[in-house]
């Protein structure tokens, strides 16, 4: 399996990530950068300050022993110590002051890394990927708050036809034979997140998995068949959630003039029949599966469908092979500023013919987020360990995920009631 090499993650990569972070908030004023107090998002002024603080903490302070840039920076921006619901009450710097802090930090990081003989590669990758994650979080925060879509942040890489191939039918299931499979990140060099380690062998049964993610059109039929009113389709926790929030349909959907619409950032758009289901939580995905006579894949099954090759022990880094993602293979890097048709991008198919397992939408799995055997927390101990046990695993990335971050072994994790993130799902035959 190709490693996620750290040698390419240098100061230029950090500066590119920083430009992108600032582009994502450039049109928002100070008040909008705070926004309403919600359980599922952060005030954006806090978020961008935290990104800079994290970079300063791990590179300038942890690695090089430098004193803090801001005397009160830890009080404001240390996510492990600043409770989420207090972040709106802090006397945070203004947007302009926060951007100045961000600039000072990355300039200082550049000077220290270039002059020091200390190997900074691990922490360069850590802070880069951390900023990439928060960049994605900013996009779904803008969706949650009904802000306009962010401007396209990636350079144009030429025209890629992402429409489905005329006449091509990729409905139905792919068959994945069982056997011994190594779950986890098997690279021996490069950066690896702690929750992807240590890779271990599992014995899996054969299974059938849908070749595409569940579409809006498919989910609409569940809604129209009374899916949100039928107690028998929901688990106990799922039904409690459904009743508590009064859910009647997906969070951003509305039915007007005989058609379904959905809110896309600050605009209402006709529901795209063949785009993947989006902004659905684990409970909703599970209820749909019960209605359809299907089930969610385990994360082992998901990774097997994405990584295995028939008749080979080779484990692919990406569904299509070991070559890096590009726009012809996966909808990533905010290039489209949204989802695309589930039938598009055949160049990204897995060996079993599963499409778009990387990019477009995160995919819920049936699995709880738990440590792999032999797990050892990385230097950033708060990354995984505090969340084991009560979160569910998602795989594959979404349209806003950075291509340098994602691979078949990457494990995302959210509480099962979260439906603000760019998440959908695919299903398995029972």
- The continuous run of DSSP H or E covering 414 comes out as strand 412-414
Per residue in 88-98, pLDDT tens?
Answer: 999 999 999 99
Asked whether residue 128 carries a pLDDT value surpassing 70, the answer given is yes
Q: What stretches of 11-72 show up as alpha helix (H) in DSSP?
A: 11-25, 44-55
Binned at pLDDT 50, 70 and 90, residue 4 comes out as: very low
Span 121-127, mean pLDDT?
Answer: 96
Domains of the chain, first to last = 11-144 (1.20.120.450), 172-430 (3.90.1580.10)
Residue 167 has pLDDT above 70, yes or no: no
How many other C-beta atoms lie within 10 A of the C-beta of residue 421?
Answer: 23
CB-based contact 413:196 (threshold 8 Å): no
Q: Is the pLDDT of residue 129 over 90?
A: yes
Question: Where does the pLDDT of residue 9 fall: very low under 50, low under 70, confident under 90, or very high at 90 and above?
Answer: confident
Query: What distance in Å separates the CA atoms of residue 407 and residue 396, rounded to the nearest whole number?
Result: 7
Closest CA to 401 of 7, 187, 138: 138
DSSP-derived secondary structure letter, 167:
T
How many Cα atoms sit within 13 Å of 213 on the Cβ side?
34
Across the strands, what pairs with 392? Answer: 368, 414
Q: CB-based burial of residue 422 (10 Å sphere; 0-12 exposed, 13-18 middle, 19+ buried)?
A: buried
Q: 423-424 and 362-368: which strand pairing?
A: parallel
Checking if the pLDDT of 3 tops 50, the result is: no
Q: φ, ψ for residue 23 (rounded to 5)?
A: -60, -35
């Amino acid at each position: 399996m190709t490693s996620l090499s750290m040698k390419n993650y240098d100061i230029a990569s950090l500066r590119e990530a920083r430009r992108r972070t600032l582009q994502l908030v450039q049109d928002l004023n100070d008040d909008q950068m705070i926004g309403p107090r919600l359980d599922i998002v952060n005030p954006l002024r806090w978020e961008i300050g935290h990104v800079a603080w994290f970079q300063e903490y791990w590179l300038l302070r942890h690695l090089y022993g430098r004193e803090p840039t801001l005397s009160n920076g830890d009080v404001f921006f240390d996510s492990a110590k600043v409770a989420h619901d207090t972040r709106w009450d802090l006397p945070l710097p203004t947007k302009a002051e926060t951007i100045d802090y961000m600039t000072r930090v990355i300039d200082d990081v550049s000077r220290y890394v270039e002059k020091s003989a200390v190997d900074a590669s691990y922490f360069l990758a850590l802070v880069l990927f951390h900023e990439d994650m928060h960049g994605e979080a900013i996009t779904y925060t803008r969706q949650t708050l009904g802000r306009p879509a962010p401007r396209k942040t990636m350079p144009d890489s030429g025209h890629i036809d992402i429409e489905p191939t005329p006449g091509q039918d990729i409905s139905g299931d792919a068959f994945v034979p069982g056997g011994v499979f190594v779950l986890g990140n098997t690279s021996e060099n490069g950066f690896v997140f702690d929750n992807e380690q240590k890779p271990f062998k599992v014995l899996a049964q054969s299974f059938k998995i849908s070749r595409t993610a569940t579409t809006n059109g498919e989910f609409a039929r569940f809604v129209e068949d009374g899916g949100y009113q039928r107690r028998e389709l929901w688990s106990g926790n799922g039904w409690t959630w459904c009743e508590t929030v009064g859910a009647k349909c997906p969070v951003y959907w509305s039915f007007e003039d005989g058609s379904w619409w959905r809110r896309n950032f600050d605009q209402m758009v006709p529901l795209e029949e063949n785009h993947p289901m989006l902004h659905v939580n684990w409970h909703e995905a599970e209820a749909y599966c019960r209605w359809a006579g299907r089930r969610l894949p385990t994360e082992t099954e998901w990774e097997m469908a994405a990584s295995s090759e028939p008749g080979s022990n080779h484990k692919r880094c990406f569904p299509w092979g070991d070559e890096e993602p590009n726009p012809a293979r996966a909808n990533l890097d905010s290039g489209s500023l949204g989802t695309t048709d589930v039938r598009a991008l055949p160049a990204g198919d897995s060996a079993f013919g599963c499409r778009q397992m990387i990019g477009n939408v995160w995919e819920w799995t049936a699995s709880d987020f738990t440590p792999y055997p032999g797990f050892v927390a990385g230097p950033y101990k708060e990354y995984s360990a505090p969340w084991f046990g009560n979160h569910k695993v998602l795989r594959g990335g979404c349209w806003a995920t950075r291509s340098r971050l994602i691979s078949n072994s990457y494990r995302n994790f959210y509480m099962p009631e979260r439906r603000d993130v760019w998440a959908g799902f695919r299903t398995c035959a029972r």
